[in-house]
Amino acid sequence: MNAHFFSDTSVMTGRSLRHVTRSMDTIITVTIMPIAFMLLFVFVLGGAIQAGTDNYVGYLLPGILLIAIASGISYTAFRLFNDLQSGIFERFHSMPIARSSVLWGHVLTSLVSNAISVVVIVLVALLMGFRSSAGVLPWLAVAGILVLFTLALTWIAVLAGLSAKSTDGAVGFSYPLIFLPFVSSAFVPTASMPGPVRAFAENQPVTSIVNTIRALFEQQPVGGGIWIALAWGVGILLIAYALAMRAYRRKIA
Amino acid sequence: MEAQNLAIQVHGLQKSFGKLRVLKGVDFDVARGSIFALLGSNGAGKTTIVRILSTLLRPDDGTTRVDGFDVLSQPARVRESISLTGQFAAVDEILTGRENLIMIAQLRHVKSAGKVADELLDRFGLADAAGRRVSAYSGGMRRRLDIAMSLIGNPRVIFLDEPTNGLDPEGRIEVWQVIQNLADSGTTVFLTTQYLDEAEKLADRIAILHEGTIVVSGTLEELRKLLPPAKVEYVERQPTLEEIFLAIVGSDKKEQR
């Protein structure tokens, strides 16, 4: 690792964060869709959904947060793709810097901007009646799971940004990720789904992550589900990181 | 020429992309403090050479040294010595001009980044636009900022890949002036261009890249000798369109900045 890794990464992160703060529309578009879903499910569909809970906002909040993160990371792919197109990526790589700081700047920016969206959505959920008696530790556990999930998806975004041929391609990969929570326990209990759908829903990563966060909010025991959730998070992170780094090495000598 | 007087040494350089052999054994040397122009048509491989010399692309074969360092075995040392100004102005559109310069100064660990930025903004006639976002800059202003960014940290070798591409005549002349000043201060300039007049005006030595090899290289005088001696002819010389354009527009150039 280069001696300047930390100072270079902080310069890169500062630059990338300016891109976020100077186009607040990226934060707004990222938060508005999940908030709209939340309103739709709570006030339109919620009455007909039998989730076995008297606080449906709290029930769907974990899934809504995952949707927000899945759409938020597409901006990381977008910004990285623009860097490649504009030539500034090559400029950085011809300079005597820690090269990996170019990617880490985008990754840390993704963590910060997604954290902002998550906080905004939780505040809206509080306004809509979400209450949690969970103490500091469960909240920290929720934050940790969300950070892990964001990191894992961000490296998928890095892979997409590096390998895309067009802006649409760079951003489009996130659509299936946004859709994934709908076929999970995020909005309705999986028990209500027909066999094959239920089998998929119960064995895809979102369900274990959603169930774990929900249990933490409700101060219920998380059981073995938290290990499945963490295994998914770490597994996706490692694979996405390895593939992204391979794509990166192909891009640059 | 002695090796230590050479800023760039390229011998037997080869590079293929799949089956396409772009460089088939390229040889040339560039003396320290000189302006070297690499001429060639589009797709001749000029940018490929620049990318190899600036450690962005690995060569397939051949030896390539920049400022005495091997690009394959000592890429980090090469990056200490060089600056790259690519074909398209590689500036951050969302940042202001001053922020772009400060960012590069910080990455190059230059002391008092703000002061360096302000000096360059002055020198390149961008002081008034310093606080504006680059997305509002004209093509010429972007190019000047781009080159200004390349000068931070006083690199010994500067690569300029088609630096006047897409610029208006005034912008071209401004960039030419910058390049000449650079060479006068002892920096080696490696320039690619498809404009012959640009090479003629600036370069100490010119090499022509064609079908993967350097077909001729030398000073302008040496290249001229390759053709039959000039005949003296009397022609009524009309002003070029460029001269007319500049005569009309050139006067209020300062205000446009």
Instruction: Please count the other Cβ atoms lying within 10 Å of the Cβ belonging to residue A234.
Output: 13
Q: Tokens at residue B7, please?
A: 């800023």
Residues 6+ apart with CB under 8 A from A27: A20, A113, A116, A117, A120
Mean per-residue pLDDT over chain B, rounded:
86
Phi and psi torsions of B131, nearest 5°: -95, 5
From the list A15, A95, A253, the residue facing B92 with the nearest CB is A15
Q: What is the largest CA-CA distance in chain B?
A: 59
B174 Cα to chain A: minimum distance (Å): 22
CA A62 to chain centre: 12
Verify whether the Cβ–Cβ distance A90 to B86 is below 8 Å. Answer: yes
Verify whether the Cβ–Cβ distance B79 to A95 is below 8 Å. Answer: yes
Verify whether the Cβ–Cβ distance A93 to B51 is below 8 Å. Answer: no
CA B152 to chain centre: 15
Which residues numbered 96-115 in A keep a CB inside 8 Å of some CB on B? 96-97
Per residue in A74-133, pLDDT (tens digit) is 999 999 999 998 889 999 999 999 989 999 999 999 999 999 999 999 999 999 888 888
Starting at the edge strand that comes first in sequence, how are the strands of the sheet with B213-218 ordered?
B82-85, B157-161, B188-193, B35-39, B205-210, B213-218
Closest residue on chain B to A89 (Cα): B90
- Does A252 contact B at CB distance below 8 Å? yes
Query: Which residues constitute the domain of residue A238?
Result: 5-251
Residues 6+ apart with CB under 8 A from B150: B83, B84, B85, B158, B160
Which residues numbered 154-173 in A keep a CB inside 8 Å of some CB on B? none
Q: With contacts defined as CB-CB under 8 Å, which chain A residues touch B113?
A: none
Nearest to A161 by CA among A244, A99, A249: A244
Residue B251, pLDDT above cutoff 60: no
From the list A8, A22, A87, the residue facing B86 with the nearest CB is A87
Residues A9 and A108: beta-carbon distance below 8 Å: yes
CATH of residue B83's domain is 3.40.50.300
Can you give the pLDDT at residue A253? 66
Q: How many domains in chain A?
A: 1
User: Predicted confidence band at B185 (pLDDT cuts at 50, 70, 90)?
Assistant: confident
Can you give the pLDDT at residue B63? 93
Verify whether the Cβ–Cβ distance A7 to B89 is below 8 Å. Answer: no
- Does A90 contact B at CB distance below 8 Å? yes
- Mean pLDDT for B63-91 is 91
Per residue in B189-212, pLDDT (tens digit) is 999 988 888 888 889 999 988 888
Q: Which of A88, A89, A97, A109 to mutate to test the interface with B (most CBs of B within 10 A)?
A: A88
Residues B50 and B2: beta-carbon distance below 8 Å: no
Query: Which residues constitute the domain of residue B30?
Result: 3-256
Q: How many domains in chain B?
A: 1
CB contacts < 8 A (A, B): 68
Q: Tokens at residue B56, please?
A: 């962005």
Q: Tokens at residue B190, please?
A: 């490696």
Verify whether the Cβ–Cβ distance B84 to A91 is below 8 Å. Answer: yes
From the list A14, A19, A88, the residue facing B90 with the nearest CB is A88
Token pair 């690792």 is found at A1
- Mean pLDDT for B154-169 is 87
- Does A249 contact B at CB distance below 8 Å? no
Q: Write out chain A's pLDDT in tens, 253 residues.
A: 567 899 999 999 999 999 998 887 877 888 888 999 889 888 888 777 777 777 888 889 999 999 999 999 999 999 999 999 888 999 999 999 998 999 999 999 999 999 999 999 999 999 988 888 888 898 999 999 999 999 999 999 999 999 988 888 888 888 888 888 888 888 888 888 888 888 898 888 999 999 999 989 888 888 888 899 899 999 999 999 999 999 998 888 6
Nearest to A217 by CA among A25, A15, A64, A40: A64
Residue B42, pLDDT above cutoff 70: yes
Verify whether the Cβ–Cβ distance B79 to A94 is below 8 Å. Answer: yes
User: Predicted confidence band at B1 (pLDDT cuts at 50, 70, 90)?
Assistant: low
Residues B191 and B176: beta-carbon distance below 8 Å: no
Write the ipTM: 0.85
Verify whether the Cβ–Cβ distance A87 to B94 is below 8 Å. Answer: no
- Per the DSSP assignment, residues forming a β-bridge with B9 are B29, B65
Q: What is the Cα–Cα distance from A187 to A203, expressed in whole angstroms?
A: 16
By the 10 Å C-beta count (0-12 exposed, 13-18 middle, 19+ buried), A116 is classed as middle
Verify whether the Cβ–Cβ distance B56 to A19 is below 8 Å. Answer: no
pTM (two decimals): 0.86
Q: Tokens at residue A6, please?
A: 């930390």
Can you give the pLDDT at residue B254? 46
